[in-house]
């Protein structure tokens, strides 16, 4: 049997691959309930009544180049060689989580995407992939001889770009706490919490800390002014980082936004300043304005991507 996995900061997702190379019987397991990735794998195998594991492709929310895999936002650590030996695998493939996500993009249907901002794009050029969840993932797809080559990097940890006065105030506040403010410190679940505290402090308002889910809920259901300000600034920062990614990769055929936060605020993103900030790139404004932006809503896109990697 062939297994695929997607391990983030909060959840571990697994599925078997059928003969057509598609994920089957997907299951989400909370990372906190297992001491190791091997324990989670064995539980999934027991629950799905299969023990004949021969190949495994897994997307991990951390750098994936070395033998030792140490997750950025969860406590798991494993060795590729040791995991391979533990399960007697014929093949083990470990990629960054957004490499797996990026590889799903060519296989998504219209039902898996929401167009936030349309545009003609530039067919045949690269695609940019970015998404906020527990952390911030960044990747891209480069076309080559009828195939796609995914970019495997750690773009979520680039320095956060500040554009206007309020951006600079936010970065100044968080720098005093963190020492360095990466894009992930804003564009993630913990980032929304950071933004809430920063904006409250800048406005001179005493607040009780809220979780990211509480901030989003208050903004969307109660029109809370501070929480709405958090979402507004979140979208602006997302636009700035996405625009820089487009320019860096030459990804003028489109931006795909993944991660768990986007689908919760899709309507808000459409009317936000995300697109304006994304295309505000000086002499490249008109070129950037043609780049479409789509939100990924597929439930298990990284599992699809890993399945295609394993079946290649």
| Neighbouring residues of 49: CB distance < 8 A, sequence distance ≥ 6 | none
DSSP three-state, residue 213: helix
CA distance to 52, 54, 153, 235, per residue, from 252 (Å)? 44, 39, 19, 20
Q: What would the DSSP string read from start to end of 226-251?
A: HHHHHHHHHHHHHHHHHHHHHHHHT-
Q: Indicate the annotated binding residues for ATP.
A: 5-10
C-alpha 285/C-alpha 189 separation (Å) is 30
C-alpha 54/C-alpha 147 separation (Å) is 26
Task: Tally DSSP H helices, then E strands, for the chain.
Answer: 11, 13
pLDDT at 153: 86
pLDDT at 51: 76
Count of other CB atoms within 10 angstroms of residue 282: 6
DSSP three-state, residue 51: coil
| Neighbouring residues of 243: CB distance < 8 A, sequence distance ≥ 6 | 277, 278, 279, 280, 281, 288
Alpha carbons within 13 angstroms on the beta-carbon side of residue 50 total 15
- Segments of the chain with pLDDT less than 70: none
Q: Indicate the annotated binding residues.
A: 5-10
Query: First-to-last CA distance in the chain?
Result: 16
* Nearest residue to 95 (alpha-carbon basis) of 7, 195, 191: 7
Q: Where are the domains of the chain?
A: 2-102+300-311, 119-291
**Which CATH architecture describes the domain 2-102+300-311?**
2-Layer Sandwich (3.30)
pTM: 0.90
**Which CATH architecture describes the domain 119-291?**
3-Layer(aba) Sandwich (3.40)
pLDDT at 285: 97
Tens of pLDDT, residue by residue over 82-96, are: 999 999 999 999 999
C-alpha 156/C-alpha 283 separation (Å) is 25
């Amino acid at each position: 049997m062939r297994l695929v996995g997607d391990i983030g900061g909060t959840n571990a997702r697994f599925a078997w691959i059928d003969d057509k190379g598609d994920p089957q019987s997907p299951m989400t397991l909370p990372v906190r309930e297992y001491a190791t990735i091997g324990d989670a794998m064995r539980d999934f195998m027991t629950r799905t009544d299969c023990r004949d594991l021969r190949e495994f492709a897994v997307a991990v929310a951390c750098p994936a180049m070395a033998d030792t895999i140490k997750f950025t936002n969860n406590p798991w650590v494993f060795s590729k060689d040791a995991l391979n030996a533990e399960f007697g695998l014929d093949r083990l493939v470990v990629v960054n989580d957004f490499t797996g996500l990026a590889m799903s993009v060519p296989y998504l249907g219209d039902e898996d995407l929401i167009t936030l901002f349309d545009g003609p794009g530039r067919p045949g050029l690269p695609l940019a992939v970015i998404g906020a969840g527990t952390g911030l993932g960044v990747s891209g797809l480069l076309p080559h001889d009828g195939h796609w080559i995914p970019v495997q990097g750690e773009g979520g940890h680039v320095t956060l770009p500040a554009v206007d006065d309020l951006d600079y105030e936010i970065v100044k506040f968080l720098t005093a706490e963190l020492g360095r403010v990466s894009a992930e410190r804003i564009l993630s679940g913990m980032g929304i919490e950071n933004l809430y505290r920063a904006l409250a402090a800048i406005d001179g308002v005493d607040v009780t800390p809220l979780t990211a889910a509480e901030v989003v809920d208050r903004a969307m259901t109660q029109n809370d002014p501070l929480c709405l300000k958090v979402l507004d600034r979140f979208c602006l920062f997302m636009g700035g980082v996405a625009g820089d990614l487009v320019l860096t990769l030459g990804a003028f055929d489109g931006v795909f936004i993944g991660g768990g936060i986007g689908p919760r605020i899709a309507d808000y993103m459409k009317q936000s300043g995300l697109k304006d900030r994304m295309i505000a790139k000086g002499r490249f404004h008109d070129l950037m304005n043609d780049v479409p932006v789509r939100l990924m809503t597929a439930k298990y896109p990284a599992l699809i991507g890993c399945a295609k990697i394993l079946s290649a």
